[in-house]
C-alpha cells in the first residue's frame, strides 16, 4: 500500500511541468524514504533525478517498495484537473497496475479522484558518482532561465565559463556572438537574488541550449538554481523544492570532436 | 531478401533508439538494399520511376546520415555467390513478371485512353449534332477535299497505266507513283489530322517515349509542336467547362508545351541533326504549297514524283524500312525480302509471281499506302466515333496488342486471314489448316508471322505485331499480285473461275481484287466491277443458302482488297463513277450497281466454287468458334458459363437495341482506338506499323459500311444486310478466336495482353455469339438465322437506312449518332468519359508502379553512387562478395559500431549490432544486438543459420511449409544440449548436426507410424506432415557460405573527408536538375552540422548503470517461448524414451523451472498469468484433478507440483462445497418426501 499526500497540488503540477518536456514516461520509485525518479531523456544526453522526501509530504505511507511507471503526459493531464490549492493524494496498492490520484478542495467539499494506468517501463538506474565539482554557481533561477533563452537564439550551444570573477555564458552563431557575464554579488541581502560562486578551478564547458532550456522549466519550483560543473563531467542543474526535496538535471557536455 | 520471417521473429528484440544517439558512430551501410528500396520506392506524382532515383535517394539519405553525424561506410555488393545466383534468378523472374505486368497495364492504359477518346469524341459529336455547329465538321470536309484531290490525281496514273500496260515494271512504277500521291495527299490532310489529334495524348516525359530513338522522338515532338500552332477549334471540347479551371488548363498546356520543347531540344541534341525531320519535310512541302489540300491538288504530280512524299508514305506505312531507304529501289528490295520469305513457307508460290515479286512489292506498297491513307481518313472522320462508346467493351478486346494482331486477321475474317496469309498461296494448306484445330492454326500463323518478321528494331511486342501485320498485308498483296499476274494473262472471267477452282476462296477473292487492280490499269473498269459484283452477287445468292456467312467473309476480303485497291483505281480512272476514294462505302455501292448491271453471268460460274469454298470456310469458322469458346471457358477463371450466359442476355438486349449501329460502331471504335493506340505505339517506335494496323481496322469498318450500303443499293437488300451482319459478326468473332489461340499457344506469342484477354474475351465472345444467336432467335425464318437476324436488326434499329436505300454513309453515321444520342444522355456520356479518365489514371499509376518494381539495379547505378559518395568524402567498400558479409566482418572487427541494413542475412554472417528501419519515415530506428537475440532466443549464429536452412534465405529455398516459429520448434527439438551449451562450437558440422538429426528423424517417421519419439515430436510431425525435404537438405555449402563468407579483411580504419560542396552542387544540377539554391537548402544544414567542432556526448558516457538493468523481457509468442526455453536447456530436451507428454506440460514445466529459477523477478510475469489461468480452469472443473495429476508421475521432474499444491486446497474446498450441497439437497428431498407423506 502506498499513499502520499501533499497539501498543495500546485507543487506536484510544477514538478510535472519540469520533467514532462524531457521525459515522456518515467518510473516513480517509492520507498518509505520518499519518492525517487531517475530517467534519461530520449536521446540519452541528459538525466533527470527527482527526489521527494517522505517527510515533505503531509502524509506518506509506503509499505513495500513500489515502482510506478507513468506516462508523464497523462499524469500532467490529470494534474491539470486539480486546483492549485487542492490537497492531492496518490494511492496505489502493492503490485497494482493503476495509481489513484485524488484531489480534495480545501474545504473538503469537492473530492475528485482519477485512476491512471501504470506502465511497465524499462528500468535502468544509473549510478551517479559523487563528484567534487570545480565550480558551483548559485544564481536566481529566473536569471538562468532568461540567459538560456536569450543565448539559444544565437546558437545551439552555450559555453559556460566559470572563473573567479564570475560566470560567463556565451554563444556564437550565424547572427553573431552573445556574452552574458554574471559577477558574484557582494551583498547577501536578498538571498534569492544573489549570485554566488564557489570555485576550485576555472572551468569552461559547452552545453546544448536545447536541454538547458528544458531544465529551466523547473524555474517555478525554486528561486535559486545551482549549477555544478567540473571538466569533462556532466553539468548538474539543481532546483531545490522547498521542504520536499530537489530536482536535478544532469547534462552531458559537448566535447571536442577529435576525430575530424 | 534475407531469411524469411527472421525479422519478424526477432522483432521483440529490437529496441527503438533515437537517431540522435547514433551521433559519431561508425556505421556500415549496405547500399545495395537501399538501391533496391529507392529505385522501387521513389516515384513522381504519377507513380512512375524517377530518373536517377538511386542518386536522389542516396543523396537524401546521405544528408540524413551526415546531419545526424553518423559516420557511414558504404558497402557495395561485389559479385554474387553461386548460391545466390539462383535466388537472384528467381527474383529476376519476378521482375520480369512485373515488367510484363507493366506492359500489360500499358496495354490497358492504351485501351482506356482510346476509350476515353472515343467517349470524348462521342460527347463532342453529340454536342455538335445538337448544336449543328461546324466545329466537328472539319474531318468530313477534309475528306471531301481529299476526294477532290483524288479526282485530280488520277490523271497521271491513268496515263501511265494506259501507256505501261504491257510493261509490268512500268506498271509498278505507276502504282508506286499513284500510291505516293495518294499517300501524300492523305497524309497531309486526314491521316495527319488523326495523327495530330492523337499526338496530344503523348506523354513526352514517359519512359517509353524516352526510349524511342532520337529521330522518331524528334519527329513526334515537332509534330506536337506544330499542332500547337494550329487552331484549337477542333479541341474545343477539351476546354474546361468551368471558367475557374481555365487558368489551370492553360497552365497545364503551357507546361506541356515546355516539356515538349525540352524533350525536343534533347532529341535534337541526341540526333545531332542528321536526319531530315518531318517538320523539315513539312516546311519543304509547304514551300511547295503541298501542305494544304488545295495545294495538294495543285501539285499532286510533283508530289507523286517526289522522293519526300515517299518518305511520308513510308513513315505511315513502314517507317523504319522506308526511312532507311527512302528510295523506291530500296523499298522494293525491302519488300522483296518479306515476299521471298513467305513463298518459302508456302508451298505454292506461283512461278509467275516470283518473277514479278519486285514489281508486286512496289505495287502493294502503293496499295498499302492507299489503304492506309484510306483508313486514316476514315479514322479521322470522327463521325463514327460517336456511336462507338456503346461498345467500349468490345473495343477493349481489340485494344491490346495481341488483339490488335489478331485484329489484323480478324479484319480479314477468320478464314480469310489464313487464306490471305498462307492460304492465298496454297489452297490445300488452307483447307487442312482450317480443319485442324484453331490452336494449331494460330500457332502456325504466329510462327509464320514470326518468321516473316524482318529484324527491324523489335523494341516491343507491339512493334513486332505491327510488323507482322504489315507483313501479312504484304503477303496478301503479294498473293493478290500473283493472282493478278495470272489474271493479266487471262483477263477473262473464265480464267478467273479457273483460278478460283484451283485456289481457295481466298484466292478467289484475291483474284477478284487483282482483277480490279489490273483493270484499273487497263482501264477495264467495267470488268473489274463486274467481277466485284459477281463476287458480291455470288455472295448474295449464297446468302439464300446458309452459306452466306462465308460469303460475307469473302466479301469482306474482297472488299478489303477493293478498298485497298480503290485508291489506285480511283487514280487511274478519274472519270469513272467512283466518287470518293476515302469513302469506300460509296464506291462499293457504285461498284455493286455496276456489277449488277453488267455481270451476272460470271457470277453463276463462280458461284458453285464459291459456295463450296464458303461452306468449308463456314465449317472452319464454326469449328474455330467452338474451339475458342471451349478454350475460353476453362481459361476464364472468373467467368464461368452462367456468368457468360447472363452477360449474353444483357448483350442480346443491347444488341437488339443497337445491333446494326453497334456493328459499325465496333468497327469504327476499333479504328479510332487503334488510332489512339497507334499514337502510343508510335511512342514506342511502332508508329508507322501501327498505322498499318489501323488500315486493316479501317478496312474492316469500310467493309461493314460498304456491305451495309451495298445492301441498300442492291436488289437483294435483305440479303446484303444479312451479309453485312454476318460479316460483322464474323469479324467480331475472329479477334476472340485469335486470343484464344494465343492462350493456347504458350510459347512464342507475346503474352502481355493475355490475362486481360482471357478476362474479356469470353464476354465479348458471348456477346458476339449472343448477338448472332440472339438475332437468329429473333429472326423470322428459322432456316436462315443470320439473314433473319440481320433483318430483324435492320427492321428494329435501322429503319432509316432501309427505306431510303440510297442512303449515303454519312447519313448512316448520323443515324447512328442520333440513336446513340437518344440512348445516352450527355450526362451519361460525360460520366462515361469521367469514368474512363479515372480508369486511365488508375491504370497509369498501376503501370508506373509495376514499372518501378520491374527495375533492376545496374552496375551504372553503383558507379553513380560511388561518385556521389566520393563527393561527400565518404568511404566505401566494394565487397568481394556479399555486402552483408562485409558489414558483419567490419562490425565484428570493431571497425564499425554497427550496420544499417534491413537485410536479416547480416545475422547469419555474424553481425553484432544492426540498425533497422533507419530510413523508414514512420518507424522508429530499431537497434538489434546479437547478444540480445542470443539471450532472448537462445539463438546464436549457428542456430540462425540452421533456421535459415529451414525457412529459406538468399542461399537456399528452405523447406516449403516451415516458418520461423516452426523452425524454432524444430531446432528446439533436435538441437542437443551440447549445441546449446557451447555456442562457440558453431563449426560447420555442429551446425549441420541438428539439421541432420531432423532429417533422419523425418525420413524415419514420415511414412511409417513409428512412435515419433516424444509428444513434442508428435506435434511436430503433425505440423510437418506436408513438408518435403529436398535432396541434400542440410546443405553444407549454405552453411559454409554463411560461416565463412568471402570478405575483404583489410583492417585499416576508415577516414572521412569533408563534402566537396561545389562539386555536389554541380552534381545535383546535372543529375537532378536542381538549382544551386535548392541544393544549398538541403546541404547547408548538413554542412553546418558537420562543421560543428563539438559533438554532444551521452550521459551514459559518464554514468554507469548501477542496478542490474531490469529490462522487460521481449514479448514473444508462447510457441516461440517454449521452444526457446527448451533450447536453452531450461527444459530438458525430451528423450525419445519418455512417455508422451502434452505440449501443455511443457509449458507448465517451464513455469515450474521458472519458479525455481533464481531470477524470479524477470520471469515472474509470464508465469503468473498462466498459473492464474490454470487455477481458474481447475476450480471450474474439479473433475480435472485426476487428469492433471496424471502427467506428473515423477515428482522430481514434474513441473506441476507447485501448481497442484496450490490448487489442491481450492479443489478440496470445492469438493467440500459439493458434498455439502449434496447433503443439503438430500435433506431437502427427505423433507419434501416427509411432507408429502404427511
Q: Within this chain, do residues B820 and B868 fall inside the same structural domain, yes or no?
A: no
- The reply to whether B315 falls in a domain is yes
What is the domain range of residue B68?
6-97+856-1043
DSSP A118: -
Sign of the four-CA dihedral B826, B829, B833, B835: positive
Q: What is the pLDDT of residues B1019-1039, one digit of tens each?
A: 777 777 777 777 667 777 888
- The reply to whether B1056 falls in a domain is no
Any B CB within 8 A of A251 CB? yes
Mean pLDDT (whole number) for A50-59: 93
Residue A223 has pLDDT above 70, yes or no: yes
Q: Within this chain, do residues B862 and B766 fall inside the same structural domain, yes or no?
A: no
Residue B643 has pLDDT above 90, yes or no: no
- The reply to whether B563 falls in a domain is yes
Mean pLDDT (whole number) for B210-227: 74
The distance of B1059 to chain A (nearest Cα, Å) reads 13
Residue A69 has pLDDT above 70, yes or no: yes
CA B596/CA B532 separation, integer angstroms: 9
Q: Within this chain, do residues B820 and B861 fall inside the same structural domain, yes or no?
A: no
Q: Which of B21, B1092, B1105 sits opposite A43 (nearest CB)?
A: B21
- The reply to whether B1175 falls in a domain is yes
Q: Which of B21, B1094, B1105 sits opposite A206 (nearest CB)?
A: B1094
Q: What is the pLDDT of residues B610-641, one digit of tens each?
A: 556 556 655 655 554 554 445 444 444 444 44
Measured in Å, how far apart are chain A's first and last C-alpha atoms? Answer: 56
ipTM of model over 0.90: no
DSSP B1163: H
Angle in degrees, 0-180, between the axes of helices B357-380 and B192-199, rounded to the nearest 10: 60
Instruction: Note whether A127 contacts B1056, CB cutoff 8 Å.
Output: no
Angle in degrees, 0-180, between the axes of helices B717-744 and B754-778, rounded to the nearest 10: 150
Task: Point out which residues pair with A238 in neighbouring strands.
Answer: A226, A248
CA dihedral B150, B156, B160, B161 (to 10 degrees): 20
Task: Point out which residues pair with A247 in neighbouring strands.
Answer: A50, A239
Q: Of B1017, B1043, B1069, at which residue does a domain stop? A: B1043
Residue B560 has pLDDT above 50, yes or no: no
Name the one residue in this structure whose C-alpha cell is 495530330: B196
**pLDDT the model gives residue A164:** 84
Q: Within this chain, do residues B539 and B440 fall inside the same structural domain, yes or no?
A: yes
**pLDDT the model gives residue B781:** 38
Residue B1226 has pLDDT above 90, yes or no: no
Backbone angles phi, psi at A251, to 5 degrees: -130, 125
CA B195/CA B282 separation, integer angstroms: 14
Sheet containing A135-140: order of strands:
A66-71, A25-31, A34-40, A46-53, A245-251, A233-241, A224-230, A135-140, A196-199
**pLDDT the model gives residue A149:** 93
Q: Which of B21, B71, B1095 sits opposite A255 (nearest CB)?
A: B1095
Sign of the four-CA dihedral B1209, B1212, B1218, B1222: negative
Residue B376 confidence class, pLDDT cut points 50, 70, 90:
very low
DSSP B1109-1157: -BPPPPP--HHHHHHHHHHHTSSPPPPTTSPP--HHHHHHHHHHHHHHS
**pLDDT the model gives residue A47:** 92
Total Cβ atoms within 10 A of residue B634: 9
What is chain B's mean pLDDT, rounded?
A: 58
More confident residue, B740 or B808: B808
CA B900/CA B882 separation, integer angstroms: 15
CA dihedral A75, A80, A83, A86 (to 10 degrees): 0
Residue B523 has pLDDT above 80, yes or no: no
DSSP B618-653: HHHHHHHHHHHHHHHHHH-SS--HHHHHHHHHHHHH
**pLDDT the model gives residue B508:** 38
**pLDDT the model gives residue B721:** 40
Cell readout for B641 is 458459363
Q: Within this chain, do residues B296 and B372 fall inside the same structural domain, yes or no?
A: yes
CA B593/CA B608 separation, integer angstroms: 22
Number of H helices, E strands in chain B: 54, 9
**pLDDT the model gives residue B400:** 44
Task: Count structural domains, chain B.
Answer: 3
Question: What DSSP element (H or E) covers B472?
Answer: helix B461-490
Q: Within this chain, do residues B451 and B331 fall inside the same structural domain, yes or no?
A: yes
Which residue from A minimizes the CA distance to B21? Answer: A43
Total Cβ atoms within 10 A of residue B575: 11
The distance of A245 to chain B (nearest Cα, Å) reads 22
DSSP A170: E
Angle in degrees, 0-180, between the axes of helices B461-490 and B328-345, rounded to the nearest 10: 90
Q: How many C-alpha atoms does B322 have within 13 Å on its Cβ side?
A: 25
Q: Of B981, B1013, B1043, at which residue does a domain stop? A: B1043
CA B39/CA B31 separation, integer angstroms: 12
Torsion region of B273: left, alpha or beta (phi above 0 gives left; psi -120 to 50 gives alpha): left
Residue B663 has pLDDT above 70, yes or no: no
Q: What is the pLDDT of residues B197-212, one digit of tens each?
A: 566 666 667 777 777 7
CA B825/CA B362 separation, integer angstroms: 49
Q: Within this chain, do residues B166 and B83 fall inside the same structural domain, yes or no?
A: no
Which residue from A minimizes the CA distance to B1113? Answer: A122
The pTM is what? 0.46
The distance of A223 to chain B (nearest Cα, Å) reads 27
Residue A105 has pLDDT above 80, yes or no: yes
**pLDDT the model gives residue B645:** 56
Q: Within this chain, do residues B741 and B669 fall inside the same structural domain, yes or no?
A: yes
Sheet containing A254-256: order of strands:
A177-183, A166-172, A157-162, A203-208, A254-256, B1094-1096
More confident residue, B1148 or B464: B464
Mean pLDDT (whole number) for B811-817: 62
DSSP A185: P
**pLDDT the model gives residue B259:** 84
**pLDDT the model gives residue B916:** 87
Instruction: Note whether A43 contacts B1102, CB cutoff 8 Å.
Output: no
Residue B814 confidence class, pLDDT cut points 50, 70, 90:
low
Q: Of B1043, B1063, B1096, at which residue does a domain stop? A: B1043
Any B CB within 8 A of A128 CB? yes
Most confident of A166-170, B654-658, B688-692, B800-804: A166-170
Residue A44 confidence class, pLDDT cut points 50, 70, 90:
confident
Task: Point out which residues pair with A183 in neighbouring strands.
Answer: A166
Question: Which chain B residues are within 8 Å of A256, Cβ to Cβ?
Answer: 1093-1094
Question: What DSSP element (H or E) covers B273?
Answer: none
- The reply to whether B1117 falls in a domain is no
CA angle (B867 as vertex; B865, B871 as ends), nearest 5:
115
Could you tell me if A248 and A238 are in contact, meaning their C-beta atoms sit under 8 angstroms apart? yes
Residue B678 has pLDDT above 90, yes or no: no
Residue B784 has pLDDT above 70, yes or no: no
Question: Which residues, other chains included, contact B72 with Cβ-Cβ below 8 Å and sequence gap of 6+?
Answer: B26, B27, B28, B29, B62, B65, B66, B874, B900
Sheet containing A2-6: order of strands:
A59-62, A2-6, A87-92, A98-104, A111-117
CA B442/CA B448 separation, integer angstroms: 9
Least confident of A208-217, B290-299, B865-874: B290-299
Q: Within this chain, do residues B995 and B1035 fall inside the same structural domain, yes or no?
A: yes
User: Which of A45, A128, A206, A256 is most worth mutating to test chain B (most B CB atoms within 10 A of its CB)?
Assistant: A45
- The reply to whether B1115 falls in a domain is no
Q: Within this chain, do residues B439 and B527 fall inside the same structural domain, yes or no?
A: yes
**pLDDT the model gives residue A212:** 93
Any B CB within 8 A of A131 CB? no
Residue A193 has pLDDT above 80, yes or no: yes
Mean pLDDT (whole number) for B654-667: 45
The percent of residues above 90 in pLDDT, for chain B, comes to 0
Q: What is the pLDDT of residues B590-602, one digit of tens each?
A: 444 444 444 444 4
Name the one residue in this structure whose C-alpha cell is 567498400: B877
Cell readout for B320 is 523504319
Query: In 3-state terms, what secondary structure has residue A136?
Result: strand
Q: Which of A124, A254, A260 sits opposite B1105 (nearest CB)?
A: A124
**pLDDT the model gives residue B1232:** 78
- The reply to whether B884 falls in a domain is yes
Q: Within this chain, do residues B354 and B286 fall inside the same structural domain, yes or no?
A: yes
What is the interface size between A and B, counted as CB pairs within 8 Å? 86
CA B155/CA B152 separation, integer angstroms: 6
Question: Which chain A residues are within 8 Å of B1101, Cβ to Cβ?
Answer: 252
Residue B312 has pLDDT above 90, yes or no: no
Instruction: Note whether B1109 contacts A233, CB cutoff 8 Å.
Output: no
Question: What DSSP element (H or E) covers B735?
Answer: helix B717-744
Mean pLDDT (whole number) for B165-193: 43
Burial of residue B1024, with CB atoms counted within 10 A of its CB: 0-12 exposed, 13-18 middle, 19 or more buried? buried
Q: Within this chain, do residues B896 and B752 fall inside the same structural domain, yes or no?
A: no
Q: How far is CA B681 from CA B201, B209, B306, B839, in A?
A: 11, 9, 28, 20
Mean pLDDT (whole number) for A140-152: 93
Angle in degrees, 0-180, between the axes of helices B53-67 and B859-872, rounded to the nearest 10: 30
Residue B220 has pLDDT above 90, yes or no: no
**pLDDT the model gives residue B477:** 52
User: What are the structural domains of chain A?
Assistant: 2-117 (3.70.10.10), 135-251 (3.70.10.10)
- Among A163, A165, A254, which Cα is nearest to A210's? A254
Could you tell me if B184 and B216 are in contact, meaning their C-beta atoms sit under 8 angstroms apart? no
CATH code of residue B30: 3.40.50.1010
Angle in degrees, 0-180, between the axes of helices B214-229 and B641-683, rounded to the nearest 10: 90
DSSP B867-888: HHHHHHT--EEE-SS-HHHHHH
Residue B894 has pLDDT above 50, yes or no: yes
Tell me how far the alpha carbon of residue B75 is from its chain's centroid.
35
**pLDDT the model gives residue B13:** 80
Could you tell me if B554 and B617 are in contact, meaning their C-beta atoms sit under 8 angstroms apart? yes
Which residue from B minimizes the CA distance to A123? Answer: B1110
- The reply to whether B208 falls in a domain is yes
Cell readout for B82 is 553461386
Amino acid at each position: 500500500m502506498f499513499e502520499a499526500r501533499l497539501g498543495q497540488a500546485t507543487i506536484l503540477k510544477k514538478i510535472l511541468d519540469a520533467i514532462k518536456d524531457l521525459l515522456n514516461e518515467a518510473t516513480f520509485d517509492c520507498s518509505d524514504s520518499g519518492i525517487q525518479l531517475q530517467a534519461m531523456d530520449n536521446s540519452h544526453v541528459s538525466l533527470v533525478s527527482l527526489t521527494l522526501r517522505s517527510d515533505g509530504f503531509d502524509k506518506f505511507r509506503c509499505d513495500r517498495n513500489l515502482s510506478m511507471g507513468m506516462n508523464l503526459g497523462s499524469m500532467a493531464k490529470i494534474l491539470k484537473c486539480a486546483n492549485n490549492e487542492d490537497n492531492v493524494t496518490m494511492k496505489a496498492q502493492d503490485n497494482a497496475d493503476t495509481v489513484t490520484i485524488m484531489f480534495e478542495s480545501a474545504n473538503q467539499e469537492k473530492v475528485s479522484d482519477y485512476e491512471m494506468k501504470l506502465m511497465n517501463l524499462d528500468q535502468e538506474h544509473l549510478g551517479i558518482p559523487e563528484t567534487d565539482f570545480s565550480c558551483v554557481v548559485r544564481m536566481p533561477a529566473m536569471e538562468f532561465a532568461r540567459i538560456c533563452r536569450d543565448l539559444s537564439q544565437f546558437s545551439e550551444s552555450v559555453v559556460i565559463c566559470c572563473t573567479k570573477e564570475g560566470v560567463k555564458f556565451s554563444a556564437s552563431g550565424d547572427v553573431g556572438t552573445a556574452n552574458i557575464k554574471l559577477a558574484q554579488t557582494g551583498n547577501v541581502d536578498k538571498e534569492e537574488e544573489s549570485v554566488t560562486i564557489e570555485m576550485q578551478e576555472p572551468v569552461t564547458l559547452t552545453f546544448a541550449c536545447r536541454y538547458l532550456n528544458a531544465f529551466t522549466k523547473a524555474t517555478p519550483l525554486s528561486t535559486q538554481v545551482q549549477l555544478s560543473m567540473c571538466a569533462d563531467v556532466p553539468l548538474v542543474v539543481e532546483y531545490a523544492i522547498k521542504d520536499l526535496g530537489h530536482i536535478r538535471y544532469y547534462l552531458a557536455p559537448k566535447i571536442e570532436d577529435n576525430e575530424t | 531478401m534475407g531469411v524469411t520471417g527472421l525479422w519478424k521473429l526477432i522483432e521483440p528484440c529490437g529496441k527503438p533508439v533515437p537517431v540522435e544517439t547514433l551521433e559519431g558512430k561508425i556505421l556500415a551501410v549496405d547500399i545495395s538494399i537501399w538501391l533496391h528500396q529507392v529505385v522501387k520506392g521513389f516515384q513522381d506524382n504519377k507513380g512512375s520511376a524517377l530518373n536517377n532515383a538511386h542518386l536522389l535517394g542516396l543523396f537524401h539519405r546521405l544528408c540524413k546520415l551526415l546531419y545526424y553525424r553518423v559516420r557511414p561506410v558504404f558497402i557495395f555488393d561485389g559479385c554474387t555467390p553461386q548460391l545466390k545466383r539462383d535466388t537472384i534468378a528467381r527474383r529476376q523472374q519476378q521482375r520480369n513478371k512485373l515488367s510484363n505486368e507493366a506492359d500489360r497495364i500499358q496495354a490497358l492504359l492504351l485501351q482506356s485512353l482510346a476509350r476515353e477518346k472515343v467517349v470524348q469524341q462521342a460527347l463532342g459529336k453529340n454536342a455538335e449534332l445538337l448544336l449543328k455547329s461546324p466545329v466537328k465538321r472539319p474531318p468530313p470536309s477534309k475528306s471531301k477535299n481529299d476526294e477532290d484531290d483524288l479526282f485530280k490525281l488520277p490523271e497521271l496514273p491513268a496515263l501511265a497505266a494506259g501507256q505501261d500496260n504491257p510493261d509490268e515494271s512500268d506498271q509498278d512504277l505507276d502504282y508506286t507513283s499513284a500510291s505516293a500521291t495518294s499517300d501524300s495527299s492523305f497524309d497531309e490532310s486526314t491521316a495527319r489530322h488523326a495523327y495530330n489529334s492523337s499526338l496530344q495524348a503523348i506523354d513526352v516525359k514517359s519512359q517509353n517515349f524516352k526510349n524511342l530513338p532520337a529521330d522518331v522522338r524528334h519527329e513526334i515532338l515537332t509534330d506536337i509542336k506544330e499542332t500547337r500552332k494550329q487552331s484549337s477549334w477542333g479541341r474545343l471540347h477539351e476546354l474546361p467547362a468551368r471558367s475557374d479551371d481555365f487558368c489551370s488548363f492553360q497552365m497545364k498546356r503551357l507546361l506541356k508545351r515546355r516539356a515538349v520543347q525540352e524533350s525536343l531540344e534533347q532529341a535534337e541534341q541526341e540526333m545531332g541533326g542528321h536526319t531530315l525531320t518531318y517538320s523539315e519535310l513539312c516546311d519543304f512541302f509547304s514551300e511547295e504549297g503541298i501542305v494544304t489540300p488545295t495545294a495538294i491538288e495543285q501539285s499532286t504530280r510533283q508530289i507523286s514524283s517526289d522522293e519526300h512524299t515517299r518518305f511520308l508514305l513510308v513513315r505511315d506505312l513502314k517507317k523504319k524500312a522506308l526511312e532507311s531507304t527512302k528510295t523506291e529501289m530500296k523499298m522494293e528490295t525491302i519488300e522483296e525480302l518479306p515476299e521471298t520469305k513467305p513463298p518459302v513457307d508456302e508451298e505454292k508460290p506461283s512461278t509467275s509471281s516470283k518473277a514479278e515479286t519486285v514489281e508486286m512489292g512496289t505495287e502493294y506498297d502503293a496499295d498499302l499506302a492507299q489503304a492506309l491513307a484510306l483508313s486514316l481518313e476514315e479514322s479521322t472522320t470522327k463521325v463514327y466515333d460517336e456511336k462507338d462508346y456503346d461498345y467500349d467493351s468490345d473495343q477493349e478486346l481489340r485494344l491490346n496488342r495481341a488483339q490488335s494482331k489478331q485484329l489484323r486477321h480478324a479484319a480479314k475474317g477468320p478464314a480469310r486471314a489464313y487464306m490471305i496469309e498462307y492460304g492465298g498461296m496454297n489452297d490445300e494448306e488452307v483447307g487442312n489448316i482450317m480443319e485442324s484445330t484453331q490452336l494449331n492454326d494460330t500457332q502456325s500463323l504466329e510462327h509464320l508471322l514470326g518468321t516473316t518478321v524482318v529484324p527491324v528494331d523489335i523494341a516491343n511486342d507491339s512493334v513486332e505485331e505491327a510488323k507482322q501485320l504489315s507483313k501479312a498485308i504484304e503477303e496478301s498483296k503479294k498473293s493478290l499480285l500473283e493472282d493478278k499476274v495470272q489474271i493479266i494473262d487471262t483477263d477473262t472471267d473464265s480464267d478467273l473461275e479457273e483460278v478460283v477452282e484451283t485456289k481457295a476462296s481466298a484466292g478467289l477473292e484475291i483474284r477478284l481484287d487483282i482483277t480490279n487492280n489490273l483493270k484499273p490499269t487497263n482501264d477495264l473498269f467495267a470488268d473489274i466491277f463486274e467481277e466485284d459484283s459477281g463476287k458480291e452477287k455470288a455472295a448474295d445468292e449464297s446468302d439464300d443458302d446458309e452459306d452466306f456467312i462465308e460469303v460475307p467473309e469473302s466479301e469482306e476480303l474482297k472488299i478489303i482488297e477493293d478498298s485497298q485497291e480503290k485508291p489506285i483505281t480511283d487514280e487511274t480512272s478519274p472519270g469513272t463513277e467512283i466518287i470518293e476514294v476515302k469513302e469506300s462505302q460509296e464506291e462499293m455501292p457504285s461498284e455493286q450497281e455496276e456489277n449488277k448491271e453488267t455481270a451476272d453471268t460470271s457470277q453463276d460460274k463462280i458461284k458453285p466454287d464459291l459456295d463450296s469454298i464458303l461452306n468449308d470456310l463456314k465449317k472452319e469458322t464454326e469449328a474455330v468458334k467452338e474451339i475458342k469458346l471451349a478454350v475460353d471457358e476453362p481459361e476464364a477463371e472468373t467467368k464461368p458459363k452462367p456468368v457468360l450466359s447472363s452477360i449474353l442476355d444483357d448483350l442480346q438486349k443491347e444488341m437488339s437495341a443497337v445491333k446494326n449501329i453497334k456493328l459499325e460502331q465496333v468497327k469504327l471504335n476499333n479504328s479510332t482506338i487503334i488510332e489512339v493506340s497507334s499514337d502510343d505505339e508510335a511512342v514506342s517506335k511502332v508508329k508507322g506499323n501501327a498505322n498499318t494496323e489501323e488500315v486493316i481496322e479501317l478496312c474492316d469498318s469500310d467493309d461493314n459500311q460498304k456491305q451495309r450500303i451495298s445492301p441498300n443499293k442492291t436488289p437483294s437488300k435483305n440479303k446484303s444486310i444479312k451479309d453485312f451482319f454476318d460479316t460483322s459478326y464474323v469479324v467480331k468473332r475472329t479477334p476472340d478466336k485469335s486470343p484464344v489461340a494465343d492462350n493456347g499457344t504458350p510459347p512464342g506469342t507475346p503474352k502481355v495482353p493475355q490475362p486481360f484477354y482471357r478476362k474479356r474475351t469470353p464476354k465479348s465472345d458471348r456477346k458476339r455469339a449472343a448477338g448472332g444467336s440472339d438475332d437468329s432467335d429473333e429472326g423470322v425464318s428459322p432456316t436462315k438465322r443470320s439473314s433473319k437476324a440481320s433483318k430483324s436488326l435492320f427492321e428494329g434499329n435501322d429503319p432509316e437506312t432501309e427505306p431510303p436505300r440510297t442512303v449515303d454513309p454519312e447519313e448512316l453515321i448520323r443515324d447512328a449518332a442520333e440513336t446513340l444520342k437518344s440512348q445516352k444522355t450527355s450526362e451519361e456520356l460525360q460520366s462515361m468519359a469521367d469514368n474512363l479518365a479515372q480508369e486511365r489514371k488508375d491504370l497509369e499509376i498501376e503501370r508506373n508502379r509495376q514499372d518501378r518494381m520491374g527495375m533492376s539495379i545496374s552496375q551504372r547505378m553503383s558507379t553513380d553512387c560511388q561518385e556521389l559518395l566520393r563527393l561527400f568524402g565518404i568511404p566505401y567498400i566494394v565487397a568481394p562478395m556479399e555486402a552483408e558479409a562485409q558489414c558483419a566482418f567490419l562490425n565484428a572487427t570493431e571497425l564499425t559500431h554497427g550496420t544499417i541494413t534491413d537485410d536479416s542475412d547480416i545475422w547469419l554472417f555474424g553481425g553484432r549490432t544492426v540498425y533497422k528501419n533507419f530510413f523508414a519515415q514512420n518507424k522508429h530506428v530499431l537497434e538489434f544486438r546479437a547478444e540480445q537475440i542470443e539471450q532472448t532466443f537462445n539463438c546464436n549464429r549457428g542456430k540462425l543459420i540452421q533456421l535459415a536452412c529451414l525457412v529459406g534465405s538468399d542461399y537456399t529455398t528452405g523447406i516449403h511449409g516451415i516458418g520461423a516459429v516452426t523452425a524454432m520448434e524444430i531446432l528446439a527439438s533436435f538441437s542437443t544440449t551440447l549445441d546449446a551449451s557451447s555456442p562457440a562450437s558453431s563449426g560447420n558440422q555442429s551446425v549441420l548436426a541438428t539439421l541432420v538429426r531432423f532429417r533422419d528423424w523425418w525420413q524415419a517417421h514420415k511414412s511409417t507410424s513409428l512412435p515419433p519419439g516424444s509428444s513434442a515430436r508428435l506435434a511436430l510431425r503433425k505440423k510437418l506432415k506436408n513438408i518435403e525435404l529436398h535432396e541434400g537438405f542440410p546443405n553444407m555449402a549454405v552453411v559454409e557460405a554463411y560461416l565463412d563468407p568471402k570478405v575483404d579483411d583489410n583492417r585499416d580504419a576508415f577516414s572521412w573527408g569533408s563534402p566537396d560542396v561545389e562539386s555536389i552542387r554541380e552534381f545535383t544540377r546535372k543529375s537532378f536538375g536542381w538549382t544551386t539554391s535548392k541544393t544549398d537548402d538541403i546541404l547547408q544544414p548538413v554542412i553546418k552540422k558537420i562543421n560543428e567542432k563539438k559533438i554532444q556526448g551521452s550521459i551514459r558516457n559518464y554514468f554507469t548503470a548501477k542496478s542490474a538493468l531490469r529490462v522487460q523481457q521481449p514479448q514473444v509468442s508462447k510457441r516461440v517461448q517454449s521452444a526457446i526455453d527448451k533450447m536453452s536447456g531450461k527444459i530438458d530436451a525430451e528423450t525419445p524414451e519418455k512417455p508422451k507428454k502434452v505440449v501443455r506440460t511443457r509449458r507448465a514445466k517451464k513455469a515450474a523451472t521458472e519458479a525455481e529459477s533464481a531470477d524470479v523477478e524477470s520471469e515472474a510475469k509470464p508465469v503468473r498469468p498462466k498459473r492464474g489461468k490454470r487455477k481458474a480452469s481447475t476450480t471450474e472443473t474439479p473433475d480435472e484433478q485426476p487428469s492433471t495429476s496424471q502427467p506428473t508421475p515423477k515428482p522430481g521432474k514434474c513441473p506441476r507440483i507447485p501448481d497442484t499444491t496450490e490448487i489442491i486446497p481450492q479443489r478440496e474446498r470445492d469438493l467440500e462445497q459439493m458434498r455439502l450441497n449434496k447433503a443439503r439437497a438430500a435433506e431437502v428431498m427427505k423433507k419434501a418426501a416427509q411432507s408429502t407423506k404427511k
